Amino acid sequence: NRVVIEEFLTGREVSVLAFTDGRTVRPMVASQDHKRAFDHDEGLNTGGMGTFAPSRFYTPALAERCMKEVFQPTVAAMNAEGRPFKGVLYFGLMIDGEKVRVLEYNARFGDPETQVVLPLLKSDLLDIFQSCIDGTLEDQPVEWEEGACVCVILASGGYPVRYEKGKPITIGRMDEGIRLYHAGTKRTADGQLVTDGGRVLGVTAKGRDLEEARAKAYANVEKIHFDGMFFRHDIGFKL
Ligand code: GLY
């Protein structure tokens, strides 16, 4: 009975996660997710096939504008509605030149954004959480490393539509510093690691810059195998 017509948004999608104690908002480094299943943004939308941080596209000027036009007003509006919020807010932004639009909000970290954001956090996460609870975020250091981080998702053949689970996974020796996030895996009764979801593993590497992080992540992707495994080859190439 009701038709909703929405503006078709084009531009660059940037995810900004932010800590808040209900008053102060402290954004984390901005990241970019790759939502389509295949290289060059082809195929269906997924939960995310890979991420990188920081986003070079998200300039300090843009960050300042988003703080004024999006982040602070969001927290203020929740307070005005009598729904003060403490924790992590996820701002899914679409940025097209001068236009900044909010595509989605989540009251949580992002996946796979968190995989590339938290490794760059220098400050103690527990202290930050505590300051969100205590309402003292304004005085809490939230510092970030200079480098970059890349996460490549290894997915099950057929994801995001139909895929089989239970494929044995083999993992070679990961290089020093690689973080391998298990998203859809499990161990069988006899101890075999097998696939148990669409997005199976997130191979995550830090580097001095995006190029180094990307090279390290992809070098380690090569050491993992399961039947039907696929991944995007262009994570972090389109900035
Ligand atoms: N990467 C999208 C999300 O966490 O919602």
The residue whose C-alpha atom lies closest to atom 1 belonging to ligand 1 is 111
The residue whose C-alpha atom lies closest to atom 4 belonging to ligand 1 is 110
From ligand 1's centre to the CA of 190, what distance in Å? Answer: 33
pLDDT at position 239, please? 64
50 lines ligand 1 (CB under 6 A): no
**What is the chain's mean pLDDT, rounded?**
96
DSSP state of 208: S
Segments in the chain forming alpha helices (H): 60-66, 72-80, 113-117, 125-134, 210-221
pLDDT at position 98, please? 81
The residue whose C-alpha atom lies closest to atom 3 belonging to ligand 1 is 110
Give the separation between CA 24 and CA 222, rounded to whole angstroms. Answer: 43
Residue from 172, 173, 166, 171 nearest 190 by CA? 166
Beta bridge partners of 129: none
pLDDT at position 138, please? 97
pLDDT at position 56, please? 87
**pLDDT surpasses 70 at 83:** yes
pLDDT at position 165, please? 98
**Nearest atom in ligand 1 to 106's CA:** 5
**pLDDT surpasses 90 at 38:** yes
**What is the three-state SS of 94-159?**
EEECCEEEEEEEECCCCCCHHHHHHHHECCCHHHHHHHHHHCCHHHCCCCECCCEEEEEEEECCCC
From ligand 1's centre to the CA of 91, what distance in Å? Answer: 10
From ligand 1's centre to the CA of 88, what distance in Å? Answer: 13
113 lines ligand 1 (CB under 6 A): yes
pLDDT at position 94, please? 94
Q: Which residues contact 51 (CB under 8 A, 6 or more apart)?
A: 15, 31, 32, 33, 34, 112, 113, 115, 116, 150, 151, 235
**pLDDT surpasses 90 at 97:** no
* pLDDT tens digits along 181-233: 999 999 999 999 999 999 999 999 999 999 999 999 999 999 999 999 999 99
Length of the chain: 239
* pLDDT tens digits along 51-71: 999 998 899 999 999 999 999
From ligand 1's centre to the CA of 191, what distance in Å? Answer: 31
The CB density around residue 176, as the number of other CB atoms within 10 Å, is 6
pLDDT at position 237, please? 87
pLDDT at position 67, please? 97
From ligand 1's centre to the CA of 40, what distance in Å? Answer: 19
**pLDDT surpasses 90 at 112:** yes
From ligand 1's centre to the CA of 106, what distance in Å? Answer: 8
Backbone φ, ψ for residue 158 (5° rounding): 100, -20
